[in-house]
Amino acid sequence: MILFLTLAGGAAHSGVKKIERQVAQVLDDFHDAASRADFEGYFGLMAEDSIFIGTDASERWTYDQFKAFTKPYFDQGKGWTYVSTSRHIYFSGNGQMAWFDETLENSKLGECRGSGVMVKRDGSWKLIQYNLTVPIPNELVLEVVDKIRAQEEAE
């Protein structure tokens, strides 16, 4: 893991680990809130100028757009469960920005990947961008591309 935090002496390792745990906890809480359809908890972890990029090419939502999309589902108690199975977190030199990638498991989609950026504002870490993808094995990518093109042509 590459860390660009500037911390002096022996405090460096424990300071980095503490900040890394804080960021990881926000991500864990984000996934947990989605799983429980906790609207306030979920969006409380996102910055109001955040962007959420979903698995479909049309899914690029601002904070307000994503709230509007999500609310009817969460109001019905329908969330989504993604469990992180591995995660890498990196930090800017001033420790006020983090970027990450994680491997996720979902019962419907299988292995997924999440990546994004977090910023520290008013002492709290907030997601400013989250990008959810479904990795496609290289052996299948051309087949998937052909199916996407066929669908686009049919529309």
Assigned token pair, 51: 């962007």
Q: What is the DSSP letter of 56?
A: S
Distance between CA atoms of residues 90 and 98, nearest Å: 5
pLDDT at 9 over 60: no
pLDDT, the chain, mean: 91
Q: Say yes or no: domain 11-154 is CATH 3.10.450.50.
A: yes
CB half-sphere exposure, 80, CA atoms < 13 A: 14
- pLDDT tens by residue, 88-134: 999 998 889 999 999 999 999 999 999 999 999 999 999 999 999 99
Tell me the torsion sign for CA atoms 43, 67, 60, 76. positive
- pLDDT tens by residue, 54-80: 999 999 999 999 999 999 999 999 999
